[in-house]
Amino acid sequence: MSLLPSEDRPTPVPLADVSVDDEFWNGRLATNRETTIEHQYDRLGERCLPNFRRVRDGETGGFRGMCFEDSDAYKWLEAASYVLANRDDPDLKERVDELVDLIAAAQDENGYLNTYHQLEFDEERWTNVRNLHELYCAGHLIEAAVAHYRATGERSLLTVATEFADHVDRVFGTGEGELDAAPGHEEIELALVKLHRATDEERYLELARYFVDARGTTGRFEWETDHAEELPGDEEWHTGSEYDPTYYQTHAPVRAQETVEGHAVRAMYLFCGAADVAGETDDEGLLDALVGLWRNMTERRTYVTGGIGSTADGERFTEDYDLPNRTAYAETCAAVGSVFWNRRLFRLTGEGRFYDVLERALYNGALAGTSLDGTAFFYENPLESLGHHHRKGWFACACCPPNLARLLASLGEYVYATTDGGVYVNLYVGSETEVTVAGETVSVTQRTDYPWEGSVDLEIGVDSPVEAALHLRVPEWCADARLSVNGERVEGEADDGYRTLDRTWHDGDSVELSLNLPVRRMMAHPDLPDDAGRLALQRGPLVYCVEETDVDVPPSRLRMDSEDSLDARWDEDLLDGVVALEGETRVAGTEGWDGRLYREWEEHREEKRVTAVPYYGWDNREEGRMAVWLPTR
């Protein structure tokens, strides 16, 4: 593992510079923009905005919602800002402006801003760092502010954010009279690095590094636990949960952690912040620790869908190879968090394996979080269902839909990255971008039917010939990638998950990448008990599942064979258009089972036609059973 020298590190091409026009994504991004984000805005009016208004109007009491309710406004602002980065939308802009004004008006003169405390426990700020999410909300405010600033060029919300960050900087630290503590729910770390990048203010980076290093070292949470009764707020927030350091990733300093533990979303956000700090401070040791954690996560604690955090009890990681399917928690937010973290690890290393994990989480564990019509959402993403797990309109703890919304709204900035001398193409998404490479403007136009088809056409536009490296990601699942330039077969250089074409580009040069997309029958590590003897279907980045509605029997009756030949077939009427997998297989017969639950082994198989659909699309039709891992015998 090596941290690239900072001058060699790829920088994501910003959202505003990428225009997505893609068969797979267009509809989803429109639904996200027109339905989900609008729905999210409507919900703000119920609890979140009234809180800000009360603070603005100098009232006290009457707080509504969860203690981190403010973050709903910030996440919406962030998503809305991503939308505004790429398009004019006066109506949306007006609502954004109004909300920014409201937030600014609710800010304390000293920079503090948290309506839960301001309305209910104003005298007791920063006394329950473990549970009360003040820094978490601050982080989301900062993320929203940076997104707003980048989209609009306006500093209104950025100023709110810097004033709050300056306040946090004054309150926290190891100095005399400062509070020496890391946040209970991480988020501020990665946000402060964003703020540092947006403002060039070193203090924010220092503060981010402080929070990363303070984790698991200050003893603050033990102190708060011992003094729970004296702390403000709802008693349940203090005494309702025992202090389990592992849950908070405070069981050890981050650099000494070897396994991913505790609340999965918190872990992801921490590791994002730590990666950002490692990059900005050239801290190779910290990156090494993170890559060790990443290996533990991806090699032992991740569902084939990219979902993480296998138990609902604490929404957390459990132990190696403990990945039950029916009770999988695999929170949508955690998959989104994995996307965030993996993108940062790529940025520090230029290695494709991080995008492999990112892509798996994006197309499966995260995308499943929303219904096709953008109005219903999964918080938990099991890999097997007895027919009772369905998306809901909203949640009391409404973290997941807005988290997915901001990811989708910013999809464009996951596609390309640049170095001084080259361009990375990381996701195959129809799009256009204009970047500067070797001091020259280079445009890239990408056309593809990915993930349904593996063919990707790129057209290069330059004013005059440019010497540059084009790095095309070859996903780990692709054993057979072919490349041609202007119709002529080339090999390129294969390294770290990329094929690199390092050459002089002329205007109009075309590159064709052809990724072979066979139907793959996947198996799990022998030490993973729940998938033993079962196979999962994958094609390209998509993991498939079998829904009862397509096979008319519980999917667990299937008895697949690793030799079963399934055909990939485009069906434009199925789930808004998907490539379904279809073929002949077998099911366990039910003959002779009358009145019996167990009997002596006897193989009785019946021929059965099976249809598998992308996992992201399940539970969009009739209710029924579903399984990703299918029995083989």
For the bound state, the minimum distance from the C-beta of residue 423 to a second copy, rounded and expressed in Å, comes to: 29
Of 273-281, 394-402, 423-431, 524-532, the window that binds a second copy (rule: CB under 8 A) is 524-532
Distances (CA, A) of 487 to 458, 512, 514: 12, 8, 12
Q: Using the rule CB under 8 A, is 299 a contact of a second copy?
A: yes
How many residues in the shown chain lie near a second copy by CB under 8 A?
Answer: 53
Q: Which of 146-154, 252-260, 281-289, 518-526 is the region at the interface with a second copy (rule: CB under 8 A)? A: 518-526
Provide, rounded to whole angstroms, the least separation between the CB of residue 568 and a second copy: 16
Residue 1: count of CB within 10 angstroms of its CB: 14
603 binds a second copy (CB under 8 A): yes
Residue 386 binds a second copy (CB under 8 A): yes
Residue 516 touching a second copy (CB under 8 A): no
- Tell the residue number behind the tokens 């301001």, with chain if given: 118
What's the one-letter identity of residue 480? D
Q: Which helix (H) or strand (E) element contains residue 222?
A: helix 220-226
CB of 326 to a second copy, least distance (A): 7
Q: Which of 61, 153, 175, 526 lies at the binding interface for a second copy (CB under 8 A)?
A: 526
- Binding of a second copy by 383 (CB under 8 A): no
Catalytic annotation, pick one of 189, 261, 315, 413: 315
Catalytic residue among 333, 399, 400, 545: 399
**Which residue lies nearer to a second copy by CB, 87 or 599?**
599
Work out which of 528, 542, 566, 612 binds a second copy, going by CB under 8 A.
528
Buried b (16+ CB within 10 A) or exposed e, 296-333: bbbebbbbbbbbbbbbeebbbbbeebebbbeebbbbbb
Q: What is the DSSP string of 433-467?
A: EEEEETTEEEEEEEEE-TTTS-EEEEEEEESS-EE
CB 358 within 8 A of CB 346: yes
Closest to a second copy by CB, 135 vs 362, is: 362
User: Contact region for a second copy (CB under 8 A) — 122-130, 372-380, 427-435, 517-525?
Assistant: 517-525
Instruction: Please work out, in degrees rounded to the nearest 5, the angle formed at the alpha carbon of residue 402 by the alpha carbons of 399 and 408.
Output: 135
Which two tokens mark 407? 């990811």
Q: Are 569 and 582 in contact (CB under 8 A)?
A: yes
Non-local (6+) Cβ contacts of 591 within 8 A are 604
Residue 222 catalytic? no
CA distance 52 to 49: 5
Nearest distance, CB of residue 374 and a second copy, angstroms: 30
Binding to a second copy (CB under 8 A) within 530-589 occurs at 530, 532-536, 554, 556-557, 559, 562, 587-589
Residue 602 is a binding residue for a second copy (CB under 8 A): yes
Q: Is 396 in the site for a second copy (CB under 8 A)?
A: no
Q: Quick one: 176 or 607, whose CB is closer to a second copy?
A: 607
Question: Which residue in 153, 573, 597, 607 binds a second copy (CB under 8 A)?
Answer: 597
**Between 306 and 430, whose beta carbon lies closer to a second copy?**
306
521 in contact with a second copy (CB under 8 A): yes
Of 396 and 597, nearer to a second copy (C-beta) is 597
Q: Which are the contacts of 322, defined by CB distance < 8 A and separation ≥ 6?
A: 301, 310
Q: How far is CA 245 from CA 62, 217, 300, in A?
A: 32, 11, 21
Nearest to 360 by CA among 219, 484, 260, 478: 478
User: In 3D, which of 509, 424, 499, 421 has the Cα closest to residue 459?
Assistant: 509
Compute CA distances 106 → 57, 58, 109, 114, whole Å: 8, 9, 9, 9
Q: Quick check: 527 binds a second copy (CB under 8 A)?
A: yes
Binds a second copy by CB under 8 A, chosen from 302, 310, 381, 426 = 302
Q: Which of 295, 389, 482, 503 binds a second copy (CB under 8 A)?
A: 295
Minimum gap (Å) between residue 352 Cβ and a second copy: 15
Is residue 404 a contact partner of residue 377, using CB atoms and an 8 Å limit?
yes
346-to-5, 18, 424, 427, 502 alpha-carbon distances in Å: 13, 19, 11, 13, 20
399 included as an active-site residue: yes
Taking the complex as a whole, the smallest distance from the CB of residue 588 to a second copy amounts, in Å, to 4
* Sheet with strand 11-12: strands edge to edge: 11-12, 416-419, 422-425, 466-473, 498-505, 493-495
- Interface segment toward a second copy; rule CB under 8 A; list 226-234, 454-462, 526-534, 607-615: 526-534
Closest CA to 44 of 73, 83, 65: 73
CB of 388 to a second copy, least distance (A): 9
Catalytic annotation, residues: 315, 399
Positions in the binding site for a second copy (CB under 8 A): 295, 298-300, 302, 304, 319, 322, 324, 326-327, 384, 386, 520-530, 532-536, 554, 556-557, 559, 562, 587-590, 593, 595-603, 625, 627, 631-633
